[in-house]
């Protein structure tokens, strides 16, 4: 303050000091934003004490002058209009940062963005409103770009690039802050409280770092979907592929908008999910899964016993370590070979993912022409709530999804599994030909336009 007093004395003399103390009640709070109305234009500045305001000149260079000189014949007022939404920095800190900007050309586009950045740590205006809790921020920290979630009270939760830990940080430590709203017109954000609550729960979590992991982290928190500049968000009608069990098994569904997925769910997907939670690596899972089949014996010898059994598969027994391996083999084989109950559900993508990696995968578009987006969504939604026969080989979640998008049901992962010597010998040899992967021709035969199941018929 002594420096400011000395500067004021040097600039305006004793008369200026007297005038300041006489009118002190008009402008006495460090860090206040001052809005000037000079008739032909408006100007913003930051009050730094003793009648002095830091502001931008016509060339955008930061300078200072007495508040009365800036106002001229116009008027001025204190206008901290965003204080209700953003917690301001302390007056002393605002003044210090303002002084440090002297003679520097401001990076902001206008005066209001310049002064709000000084007061709140983030540039905002009526045209560029301040963030609400739950919004995504892009910023620079340690000279690296990050994305994070603003949770209010000047705090941001983000994934640190250097440590790969989810951390909480104050706006004061961040630079070049920008609010990311470009996806709001396409996707419906989750409820504000849910976003901030989930973000706080993630603090301290260790994640595997990738090129756009921080963007995937932030978008999932806000929208319930993982996407980034590199991996754009899904469009209604897109197919989404979920990686289960380190890529050994994949679940599929149709994106229908608003963060929701329509998919065929069965107990078999639940059992794979349970196995994922009880095994620590793909090697462990392979050991568990392949041990259920005995390559030394013929699977066909067990076929009659399997098909004649009236009891459904007890998945709890399958996971139970006390269940004899012979019984597990029969149960797993039955789960894979026989028809089981399934149901078409509409659920949030985030819930279906349950922590697994997923992506938009319309790679079959090169084989088949997809239906119109609105038709795909309409058809998928028509089946929501419908009970449907599920068969891993004949009609699984991928069959359903490709049927909705292309009008023909196929499953590439089943085709890949059939190439495995153990599964092909023990399981798939019990069947006739199946439509697994798409044929290398875009033209569909009439027979492919209809899929008939034992209990359900889907007609396109």
- Could you tell me the CATH number of the domain that includes residue 386? 3.90.1720.10
**Number of folded domains in the chain?**
3
Lowest mean pLDDT among 22-36, 215-229, 316-330: 316-330
- Give the end of a domain, one of 164, 189, 223: 223
Per-residue confidence (pLDDT) for residue 435, from 0 to 100: 44
Q: Are 203 and 157 in contact (CB under 8 A)?
A: yes
What rounded mean pLDDT belongs to the chain?
78
Residue 361 has pLDDT above 60, yes or no: yes
Q: Identify the band that residue 18 occupies on the pLDDT scale cut at 50, 70 and 90.
A: very low
Residue 431 has pLDDT above 50, yes or no: no
Percentage of residues in the chain having pLDDT higher than 90:
47
Domain shared by 161 and 39, yes or no: no
Residue 457 has pLDDT above 60, yes or no: no
Give me the mean pLDDT over the 101-118 stretch: 92
Residue 1 has pLDDT above 70, yes or no: no
Contacts 24+ apart (CB under 8 A), 169-174: 169/141, 171/120, 171/121, 171/122, 172/89, 172/93, 172/121, 173/141, 174/121, 174/137, 174/139, 174/140, 174/141
Domain shared by 272 and 356, yes or no: yes
Per-residue confidence (pLDDT) for residue 307, from 0 to 100: 42
In a domain, 359, yes or no: yes
In a domain, 184, yes or no: yes
Q: Identify the band that residue 319 occupies on the pLDDT scale cut at 50, 70 and 90.
A: low
Lowest mean pLDDT among 41-45, 134-138, 331-335: 331-335
Lowest mean pLDDT among 90-104, 137-151, 168-182, 318-332: 318-332
Higher-confidence residue of 73 and 424: namely 73
Token pair listed for 23: 């009118």
Domain shared by 98 and 141, yes or no: no
Per-residue confidence (pLDDT) for residue 341, from 0 to 100: 82
Lowest mean pLDDT among 149-158, 251-260, 273-282, 374-383: 273-282
Q: Identify the band that residue 323 occupies on the pLDDT scale cut at 50, 70 and 90.
A: low
Its sign, for the CA torsion 144, 150, 155, 161, is negative
In a domain, 440, yes or no: yes
In a domain, 30, yes or no: yes
Domain shared by 206 and 261, yes or no: no
Domain shared by 146 and 217, yes or no: yes
Give me the mean pLDDT over the 323-327 stretch: 65
DSSP characters over 242-291: EEEGGGTEEEEEEEEETTEEEEEEEHHHHHHHHHHHH-SSHHHHHHHHHT
Per-residue confidence (pLDDT) for residue 430, from 0 to 100: 42
Domain shared by 286 and 366, yes or no: yes
Between the alpha carbon of residue 448 and those of residues 326, 365, 399, 442, the distances in Å are 38, 16, 12, 12
Residues in the chain: 460
CA distance 269 to 275: 10
Q: Identify the band that residue 279 occupies on the pLDDT scale cut at 50, 70 and 90.
A: very low
Residue 105 has pLDDT above 90, yes or no: yes
Nearest CA to 158 among 397, 174, 24? Answer: 174
In a domain, 81, yes or no: yes
What does pTM read for this prediction?
Answer: 0.66
Give me the mean pLDDT over the 209-236 stretch: 91
Domain shared by 26 and 112, yes or no: yes
Q: Identify the band that residue 11 occupies on the pLDDT scale cut at 50, 70 and 90.
A: low
Domain shared by 259 and 361, yes or no: yes
Lowest mean pLDDT among 52-66, 328-342, 382-396: 328-342
Domain shared by 157 and 280, yes or no: no
Domain shared by 153 and 28, yes or no: no
In the numeric block, the tokens 């690039």 are attached to: 161
Residues 6+ apart with CB under 8 A from 104: 61, 62
Q: Identify the band that residue 310 occupies on the pLDDT scale cut at 50, 70 and 90.
A: very low
Burial of residue 27 (number of CB atoms within 10 Å: 0-12, 13-18, 19+): buried
Give me the mean pLDDT over the 317-344 stretch: 66
- Give the end of a domain, one of 66, 95, 120: 120
In a domain, 127, yes or no: no
Q: Identify the band that residue 108 occupies on the pLDDT scale cut at 50, 70 and 90.
A: confident
Residue 89 has pLDDT above 70, yes or no: yes
In a domain, 229, yes or no: no
Domain shared by 43 and 88, yes or no: yes
- What's the maximum distance between 2 C-alpha atoms anywhere in the chain? 108
Nearest CA to 116 among 59, 35, 26? Answer: 35
Domain shared by 9 and 106, yes or no: yes
In a domain, 131, yes or no: no
- Which residue range is the domain that position 157 belongs to? 136-223
Per-residue confidence (pLDDT) for residue 443, from 0 to 100: 34
CA distance 436 to 410: 5
Q: Are 133 and 196 in contact (CB under 8 A)?
A: yes
Lowest mean pLDDT among 203-217, 287-301, 313-327: 287-301
- Give the end of a domain, one of 56, 85, 120: 120
Residue 274 has pLDDT above 70, yes or no: no
Give the count of beta carbons closer than 10 Å to the beta carbon of residue 18.
11
pLDDT, one tens digit per residue, over 162-215 is: 889 999 999 989 988 989 999 998 888 999 999 999 999 999 999 988 888 999
CA distance 266 to 264: 7
């Amino acid at each position: 303050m002594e420096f400011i007093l000395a500067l004021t004395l040097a600039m305006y003399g004793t008369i200026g000091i007297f005038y300041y103390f006489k009118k002190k009640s008009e402008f006495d709070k460090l860090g206040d934003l001052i809005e000037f109305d000079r008739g032909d234009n408006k100007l913003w500045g930051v009050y730094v004490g003793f009648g002095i305001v830091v502001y931008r000149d016509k060339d955008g260079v930061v300078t200072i002058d007495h508040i009365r000189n800036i106002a001229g014949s116009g008027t001025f007022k204190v206008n901290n209009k965003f204080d209700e939404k953003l917690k301001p920095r302390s007056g002393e800190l605002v003044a210090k940062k303002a002084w440090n900007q002297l003679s520097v050309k401001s990076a902001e586009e206008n005066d209001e963005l310049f002064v709000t950045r000084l007061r709140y740590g983030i540039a905002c205006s009526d045209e560029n409103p301040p963030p609400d809790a739950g919004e995504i921020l892009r910023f620079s920290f340690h000279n690296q770009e990050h994305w994070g979630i603003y949770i209010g009270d000047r705090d941001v939760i983000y994934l640190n690039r250097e440590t790969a830990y989810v951390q909480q940080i104050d706006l004061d430590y961040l630079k070049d802050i920008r609010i990311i709203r470009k996806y709001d017109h396409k996707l419906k954000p989750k409820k504000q409280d849910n976003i901030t609550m989930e973000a706080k729960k993630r603090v301290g979590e260790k994640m595997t770092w990738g090129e756009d992991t921080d963007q995937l982290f932030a978008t999932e928190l806000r929208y319930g979907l993982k996407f980034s500049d590199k991996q754009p968000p899904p469009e209604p009608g897109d197919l989404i592929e979920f990686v289960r069990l380190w890529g050994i098994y994949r679940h599929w569904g149709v994106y229908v908008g608003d963060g929701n997925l329509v998919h065929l769910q069965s107990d078999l997907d639940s059992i794979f999910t349970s196995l994922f939670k009880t095994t620590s690596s793909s090697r462990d899972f392979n050991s568990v899964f392949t041990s259920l089949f005995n390559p030394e014996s013929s699977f066909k010898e067990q076929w009659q016993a399997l098909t004649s059994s009236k009891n459904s598969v007890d998945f709890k027994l399958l996971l139970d370590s006390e269940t004899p391996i012979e019984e597990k083999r029969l149960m797993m084989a039955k789960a894979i070979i026989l028809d089981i109950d399934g149901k078409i559900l509409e659920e949030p993508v985030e819930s279906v993912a349950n922590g697994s990696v997923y992506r938009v995968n319309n790679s079959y578009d090169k084989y088949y022409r997809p239906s119109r987006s609105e038709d795909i969504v309409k058809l998928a939604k028509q089946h929501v709530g419908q009970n449907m026969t599920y068969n891993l080989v004949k009609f699984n979640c991928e069959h359903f999804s490709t049927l909705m998008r292309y009008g023909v049901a196929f499953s590439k992962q089943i085709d890949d599994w059939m190439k495995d010597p153990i599964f092909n010998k023990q399981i798939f040899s019990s069947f006739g030909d199946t439509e697994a992967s798409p044929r290398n021709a875009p033209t569909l035969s009439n027979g492919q336009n209809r899929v008939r199941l034992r209990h359900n018929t889907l007609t396109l």
